[in-house]
Amino acid sequence: MKKIIIVCLFALIACHKSDVKEDGKKVSVQEVLDSNLKKVFEKNELMGMSVVLIKNGNPVFKGNYGVANDELELPVTDKTVFRIASISKTFTAIAVMQLFEQGKLDLDKDMSDYLGWELRHPKYPEKIITARHLLSHTSGIRDGEGSSNFSRNMFTDNVQIAELFQPNGKYYTEDMFAPEAPGTYFSYTNCTWGILATVVEKLSGQRFDVYCRENIFKAMGLEADFNPAELRSYDQLAALYRFENNQWTVQADDYGGQKPLERVPSNYTLGNNGLLFGPQGSLRCAAEDLIKTTQMFFNDGIINNNPILKKETVNLMLSDQWTYNGSNGDTWEDFFLSYGFGIHRTLDQTKADVIFPGIKMTGHPGIAYGLLSDMYFDKATKTGVIFITNGSKNNFQYGQNSTFYQVEEDVFEAIYPLLNSF
């Protein structure tokens, strides 16, 4: 790998500079945290990394390390745009909840009525599948083999998403549905978010990426987009890497600094297949955009004086829609213990979903193509943490003190002892 460029930027908004002692010398808490995170960066042999700490609703530390694109020698900065993987689900949920606020969508109505085709669990045809189920991963749908085949071919076949979920569909496989009935069991899925995005198109009359751009991203002042061809900051896009055969290997988003080509078929039909836009994991955005997202939640749905959601809707999204009772879900080894609408709720359980001990947080993680990402926050104290890396030489392994990955745990543990010093 070419020489790693280290870029560190400290934000001291709404915060006085504090000093701590290290080796008998007075140094700023920002310098100590920066030093701690550099050690995390080096220990885990990362390609690039962004870390943000938020206190009292504002960023008090921003650190950027390494490179966003090795070939271009592009450093990670505040402007670096990452594919943030499953944090994308939170934004898809925001789009759905906006339509709920407008009275266009009933959270407990049969989704078939919105889709225009019947969506049913084959083992429980008498049970309807609702938006509430889909937003909380309790629909009885799983990411079966058909989902992978569908995702691989959907850019060339221009198929309807119904082909994936209906028993007579071209891409349907029996493992698309779990043994459990809708509303009874948590099973984390990605393909179901394509259903939600398709419904957003049906109810709004706009393509999913266009709807989010006009009704969420512009209103919030974000650079984010579900369609890489529409990114304004495409020249700051981070490539995603894995270390294979003793070398860094690009997995995704290496466009050589050029504007990505449009991948949406020119003959795409509105409401045909929202999965095309990656509502489950293909949003590209910067850490700065995630800061604004936490602030929107902190401010009861308002950012830049623009109402994105109502206070009641924010509280509904963050509230308990499913909590593990010992048998009602696949927890991923005690990682998912509670979930809202497109929001992971940590319960701060020992050796499980711990971020900062003693603080329950809401937000979302992401993993894809060598990338790891986290956006978590506590609305009551307006504390938050953002972490993104675009690749590691090491295979991601679970941490020793939680069910987050070791590199995530290292970041959280680097911050936690200094949390009250800001």
Q: Which residue has the tokens 């402007």?
A: 79
- For the stretch 28-63, pLDDT in tens is 999 999 999 999 999 999 999 999 999 999 999 999
pLDDT score of 386 more than 70: yes
CATH number of 6-86+228-269+287-421: 3.40.710.10
What residues does each domain of the chain span?
A: 6-86+228-269+287-421, 94-204
The pLDDT assigned to 5 comes to 36
Residue 334: is it exposed, middle or buried by C-beta count within 10 angstroms (0-12/13-18/19+)?
middle
- For the stretch 72-123, pLDDT in tens is 999 999 999 999 999 999 999 999 999 999 999 999 999 999 999 999 999 9
- For the stretch 348-369, pLDDT in tens is 999 999 999 999 999 999 999 9
From CA 331, how far away is CA 334, in angstroms rounded? Answer: 5
Q: Which residue has the tokens 């989902």?
A: 147
pTM over 0.75? The answer is yes
User: For residue 339, how many C-alpha atoms fall within 13 Å in the half-sphere facing its CB?
Assistant: 31
* pLDDT class of 266 with cuts at 50, 70, 90: confident
* pLDDT class of 13 with cuts at 50, 70, 90: very low
The pLDDT assigned to 27 comes to 87
- For the stretch 236-263, pLDDT in tens is 999 999 999 999 999 999 999 999 999 8
* pLDDT class of 24 with cuts at 50, 70, 90: low
pLDDT score of 181 more than 80: yes
Whether 341 and 98 have beta carbons less than 8 Å apart is answered as: no
Sequence-ordered list of residues with C-beta below 8 angstroms from that of 283, at least 6 positions apart, any chain: 83, 84, 87, 88, 91, 224, 225, 226
**Measured at the alpha carbon of residue 88, what is the angle toward residues 355 and 55, in degrees to the nearest 5?**
40
pLDDT score of 204 more than 60: yes
Mean per-residue pLDDT, 136-142: 98
